[in-house]
Structure 1
């Protein structure tokens, strides 16, 4: 069977099963069973499939996933997230468009502490949008920053998606987490610059209004009491990885303990909050592990059928330039983002994209960040991005068209970052290179 027929058969099977509303994990399992009979020799292939499935879940690199998820759930259920937004709001003072900056600043910090993109959008949408609407903020300065900043959780560590991607692609998870830090921060600064520009060009989109005056001493007290503990949590995760003191798994465990210490410090730690966080983390982790189990043979089947090797050879044969290949990859990721969840996108693209990228001499860590950025874009890309529908629930009445218009400037800002890191890949690779020394 030609390589393109093999690839078309496998991907077509999975997409067809998903179109029938079969869950991602079971769609991959069923497609893999069919692929095993076609390409791996029937019964022998099924035995190998079962062996690979058990081995895939006994992977030490997967341990950070439930720990990072638990960390984010504790951060939300103990009420620490609400405290962060309140403090950032008070520190901003009377700056025009301050609630947009609060959404960006608080959302970025929450991304670094939760790792959940859709959770970010849901929390900020329900807590911040009603106040922004009441004051008279435009959709671009209220809905846009909430959706855009929510997606940063896919890039800024500790990102659960980065751990999944690193595990599936056999990359160093710790270095991949570090690789997303600088692009994520730059993206947040880009969103802030966009808000500043919009408030200068069209000040009526962010009405001025009276806010409580806060003295310099009070601002300092708020920052020390409320934000320094957040820095402690971030240090316990990323700082220990950068310093080489802890592995990603150990750092994730330290992060859970750090959140519990901070929650106890604020007197918000309770058995009820811990139980709710643990229950939610178990459900999400179980779903992710089921998908990983179902995906174990997909890349092997593509390799056995010659699809991966054939695609790489075909691209090299047509002499496509690197920018053309990256644009093609980006379009595929955005297309899949319209109807697939992030993990499903990774399962379909990693077995093909990484060998292709390496054939062009691209660093696998850089390629991992590239994929994560476009997964983040896919969550917010009109008209089917999942973050848009989450925001629809929070706004209660806004149409998908209005929400889409509000987020488009921020999507363009994200594409600008992709151009920058493509021209200067060291932006992505600098921190991982320090950790590797």
Structure 2
């Protein structure tokens, strides 16, 4: 059977079982193993298991359960509530100030927990009712929470970046460093959008009345709320940048900071630890199956000779190397509307990375573009995770249609940021080159 027909059958089988609603990890791993057997025979199973064994010996993997555990603990402390009060006092006097403050808190949360859902749930519970009570437009409120919540996978530490590094073989530390400036850029662009829009349409996000604004002593006292979060960020990122720890060891520093925060807020107890540990075990087990599926897919994809076929098709696209990169981004953007980010990584990275390398592009830079696209996927209809996190906590008066409509301008802002990083790769590569 020719490579073309085998490749077509392979991807058709994947699509068929996905449409049936079966879990992506098992579809990808199962179909890959079956095609490997009929392509290479029984010996192909040893190839998959040897690759998986090599992955299981990787010290980098230890960071995943540690960062997840840190996120599970921080979700249940009072950090978010105190941060919001601080931003409320400092930014409330400005048009759109509470929305801007919420974005700032989401960025801080992203620098602490490394996942998307934590900030969305925290701000949806605390900031959303407060802003709606003060006359903020519901689409503005929903859009900024949705957008800011997605930064957890871009601003380091990021679980998705660790998985990207595991699948592609790049440095986790370089990926973390590369995410800092793009994360700041997206935050600045979103703040500019809110400021400009509120200038021309002040009714969308009115400033707080004079009697609700804080005095300077109150503002200064409220700054205590950022001490613990900044301490955690310094413990994690500062220890990596300072050369004190590896990214894996820094995850343990983050857990220590989360435990200290829980103790300071009086939440350090057995039920907290038990629930956080249980959820960590579940997520870590899921990630291990994901890595198995990734290795099986990669082995099948290369073993069938499909890599050369797809590479030839991609390189024949118009527009040269940039046309290929833009096509890849468009494919990932469309996939992100219907699949979860980890599934997209499993399907696309084994296909894309050899092409990216052959074109001479920096895999770290491409990784940041990829992660930003995953972040956009978290907030785009119909199946963005953040949309459903929000729907679970908003008042009944807010419909799913309201949530869908709220993301449109914020997605456009994110796409502008993505384009800027494509045009100026130094935004992503400057810090990794400087630090490593």
The CA deviation at 1:397 is 4.3
Q: Which residue of 1 aligns with 2:217?
A: 217
Q: Which residue of 1 aligns with 2:303?
A: 304
CA–CA distance in structure 2, aligned partners of residues 27 and 302 of structure 1: 14
Runs of 4+ in 1 over 4 A off after TM superposition: 1-4
1:348-367 equivalences in 2 (<5 Å): 348-367=347-366
Greater displacement, 425-434 / 57-66: 57-66
CA–CA distance in structure 2, aligned partners of residues 163 and 189 of structure 1: 25
Q: CA RMSD in A?
A: 1.8
1:363-374 equivalences in 2 (<5 Å): 363-374=362-373
The CA deviation at 1:335 is 1.8
1:232-311 equivalences in 2 (<5 Å): 232-311=231-310
Q: Which residue of 2 aligns with 1:407?
A: 407
Greater displacement, 389-398 / 418-427: 389-398
Greater displacement, 149-158 / 83-92: 83-92
The CA deviation at 1:319 is 5.7
Conservation of the 8 A alpha-carbon contact between 2:33 and 2:296:
no
Conservation of the 8 A alpha-carbon contact between 1:242 and 1:434:
no
Q: Which residue of 1 aligns with 2:126?
A: 127
1:307-386 equivalences in 2 (<5 Å): 307-318=306-317, 320-386=319-385
CA–CA distance in structure 2, aligned partners of residues 90 and 49 of structure 1: 56
Partner SS state of residue 394, structure 1: coil
1:23-62 equivalences in 2 (<5 Å): 23-39=23-39, 41-62=40-61
Cα distance, 1:119–1:8 mapped onto 2, change above 3 Å:
farther
Conservation of the 8 A alpha-carbon contact between 1:53 and 1:294:
no
CA–CA distance in structure 1, aligned partners of residues 127 and 273 of structure 2: 25
Equivalent pairs, count: 434
CA–CA distance in structure 2, aligned partners of residues 434 and 24 of structure 1: 38
TM-score by length of 1: 0.94
Deviations 1:231-254 (A, max 9, x none): 111111111111222111100001
The CA deviation at 1:3 is 4.4
CA–CA distance in structure 2, aligned partners of residues 214 and 57 of structure 1: 53
Q: Which residue of 1 aligns with 2:420?
A: 420
CA–CA distance in structure 2, aligned partners of residues 180 and 2 of structure 1: 42
Conservation of the 8 A alpha-carbon contact between 1:312 and 1:359:
no
Deviations 1:88-141 (A, max 9, x none): 222224112222112201111111111221332222222222222232211332
CA–CA distance in structure 2, aligned partners of residues 5 and 127 of structure 1: 54
Gaps of 5+ in 2: none
Partner SS state of residue 112, structure 1: helix
The CA deviation at 1:11 is 2.9
